[in-house]
Structure 1
Amino acid sequence: MKFLFFFLMISFNSFCLESNDGKMNITAKVIDPLRVVHNGDIEFGNVFRGSSNTSSRHGFTIYGEKGQNIKVSLNEKNLNAFSNSIPLKHESSNNEISVNVINISDYSESTKLDKNGEFHYDFDAELIVPKDAVLGKYSGTLIMNVTFQ
């Protein structure tokens, strides 16, 4: 009986001393954040009714981690699908005129940052003012959105 008790104590102690740990590895890679810079605002100046004006070599440069895949859009549209115009709203009415963005190159929806961690998007802009445009100042915004894929 003492032997059985001693055996049970050893078994119980052995059972209590054993543990079963689950191990989860955690890793992280720190990379450069995305940053978007443009090469200057587009200023058409004074433009006559019924005329047009073009402005060349505008662009955005994206900076980030070398070789990373990114998704780029302009005003929530794919770069190549961006044949739509940018509305310019009149300062004190609901009237609009439009600026057309003309891609310098073909761009895919997804792309990579180059070996320097950069991506360049260049475009020309064309403003066509209707003959019946309301006089006054007009303004609009072109927004480039970039995300890692």
Structure 2
Amino acid sequence: MKTTVHEATREEGGRILDLWNAFTDHLSEFNDRYRAREGADDHWLSYFENQVVDSQYSTVLIAENESSEPVGVLEIRIVGEHPIFQLDRHAEIQGVFVREEARGEGVGEALLEAAAEWMRQDPRNVEFYRVDVIEGDEVAKQAFKEIGLDPVKQTYESRV
């Protein structure tokens, strides 16, 4: 499958919502708290339009197939350097999702390559990035390993 990746524009917010909803459905298979809450679409569109579009330090990338249909999405935020640890300027990929019918076709890799190129550009100058994988999603863990990402930490949580 031929895949093209580009930065999302304000006008594409609605196209992205369908992908994010599919992503939340996927995540909620592993943890019900990741199901989209009431009003999530409007909240996300507002966030996207006001904090992501035209930002130097965050973006959303869309992967499209040869028919210009969106088949994948990725959101990046630049974090910066850690004040104590020897962690250089870095970014966090807040979410990466590929439609099931497009998996195994290089879409995720194309998104990550485009993300890395965006992160290398001035003024971002990122040294590395991180991606979280929800507990239980062994397919995603394996896919990231196959692309060349290394596991470096596990996150634990507790209700208070």
Query: Normalising by the residue count of structure 1, what TM-score does the alignment of the two structures yield?
Result: 0.28
User: Which of the pair is proportionally richer in strand?
Assistant: 1
Which one has the largest radius of gyration? 1
Answer 1 or 2: which has greater helix percent.
Answer: 2
Q: Normalized against structure 2, the TM-score is what?
A: 0.27
Larger RCO: 1 or 2 (CA < 8 Å, sep 6+): 1
